[in-house]
Amino acid sequence: MENLEFSEPVSPSGRYFNTTLLCAYVFGFLESEIPIDDSQTMYLFKDVFLPINPRFSSIMVRDEDGEMRWKKVEVKAEEHIKVPIFPKNESSQFYDEYFDEYVSRILMEKTPQDKPLWEIHVIKYPTTSAKGTLIFKLHHALGDGYTLVGALLSCLQRADDPSLPLTFPSRRPNESAVRAKKGFFRRIPSAVFSVFNSISDFGWSVVKSSMVEDDKSPIRSGEEGVENQPCVLTNISFSLDHIKKIKSMLGVTLNDVITGAIFYGIRLYMEEMNSEKGRRTKSTGLVLLSTRNIGSYQSIQEMMKPNSRSPWGNHIAFLHVSIPKLTQSSLSNPLQFVWKAQKIIKRKRNSFTVFLIEWLLDLELKLRGHEAVAKHIYGTLKNASVVISNLIGPVEPMALANHPCKGLYFTMTGGPESINIAIMSYTRTLRVTLKTQKGFIDEKLFKSCMVNAFEAISKAAMEMPRSKG
């Protein structure tokens, strides 16, 4: 047996994301503009992917003291690289169905614990979206979405000039310069409100996570074991340039527009499914956030440094956000959802609730152990109606081994929610990925409501006067 003396301890978050109750994965989808040539598969496997992090060639084991550690093992390509066989010479529409069924299946499957916790699925058949697709299935114990997507991006290069680094849009406006212009005494009321709001939001979050469930509704089945039931993946693409135009017209942020449209789309779906109950139901969105105080991705080398500002691993927290109710007024003016989203996001941005939640999880880990934290996170996910997360992608087109990347999106599995919404930007496209509980959510209607919501907000923004007043 290999000596475990030099193996890396499993982080606390790595342990509670890999328990009997909570077993979570991040899926990254890389769409190719050209048919996939797998002649370089072994090179990419051995020389590009595995060297990213020792965890990609390690398994979790318990040492003599009962502590969990990462143990280095031999990694066999055939156990981790899956190349499914579909019928030959069929249409793209035909392969769409095979692709969807295949994805639905692998979203449910768990990777063996006696092998490194990842897989790569190579779909060599053309769909209506791409000529081929690479699917990266990565266990959440390996790291969070920021870490794992950053790892995948380290394997790619700029399509226009591989010698130049990928660049990313700024996550937030430069607020420090704005704050610097405010006098000390003018900042005091803002700080007081921030403290009050943070404590209030933190208390509500604790109650929501442990005691208060959302109502059962058209978007929340409330069934036991939803995480083990089949789900369906649906994608919607929006023009990022168009959303930026809406943002400029309304004088808000991109996040305000996107969040408002998603909330509006959710309420439209609830209205379609159950008009009377859909309007009254109190529903909560759980927004997953990174606690890293940085603007864009760091290199893998930077993440691995001992004192990195953004170390490898899981650095996430969550915020509960009430989904605004649908009223006759907001039906006639959907921009109200954007204004409400703007108000919510501004309040949350000026709060430190996220860090209080992270502190609570650390405290619970020390006092009660990782199984208790896993139970806390599971309950948090179960009691909410929708889980929402977002990641930023590169501004420039990318390529992997001379395969131009047409599209990039992600999703997550392992939680008991009926709807999971993942948002990612890439070049000039915003991808909204809907993971929905099969048989409970009408995925076609839900997608239609999302598209209609964006279109209604776009139309209202273009028709309104230049100022809100």
Residue 386: the pLDDT is 95
- Supply the pLDDT for residue 433: 97
Task: Give a three-class secondary structure readout of the chain.
Answer: CCCCCCCCECCHHHHHCECCCCECEEEEEEEECCCCCHHHHHHHHHHHHHHHCHHHHEEEEECCCCCEEEEECCCCHHHHEECCCCCCCCCHHHHHHHHHHHHHHHHHCCCCCCCCCEEEEEECCCCCCCCEEEEEEEEHHHCCHHHHHHHHHCCCEECCCCCCCCCCCCCCCCHHHHHHHCCHHHHHHHHHHHHHHHHHHHHHHHHHHHCCCCCCECCECCCCCHHHCCEEEEEEEEEHHHHHHHHHHHCCCHHHHHHHHHHHHHHHHHHHHCHHHHHHCCCEEEEEEECCCCCCCCCHHHHHCCCCCCCCCCCEEEEEEECCCCCHHHHHCCHHHHHHHHHHHHHHHCCCHHHHHHHHHHHHHHHHCHHHHHHHHHHHHHHCCEEEEEECCCCCCEEECCEEEEEEEEEEECCCCCEEEEEEEECCEEEEEEEEECCCCCHHHHHHHHHHHHHHHHHHHHHCCCCCC
pLDDT computed for residue 432 by the predictor: 97
pLDDT value of position 20:
85
- Domains, the chain, in order of start with CATH, read 12-158 (3.30.559.10), 175-393+416-463 (3.30.559.30)
Instruction: Note the pLDDT of residue 459.
Output: 94
**Res 7: pLDDT:** 74
0.85 exceeded by pTM = yes
Task: Output the pLDDT for position 295.
Answer: 47
Residues of the chain falling short of pLDDT 50:
1-6, 173-189, 291-301, 303-305, 308-313, 468-469
Q: 425: which strand partners?
A: 430
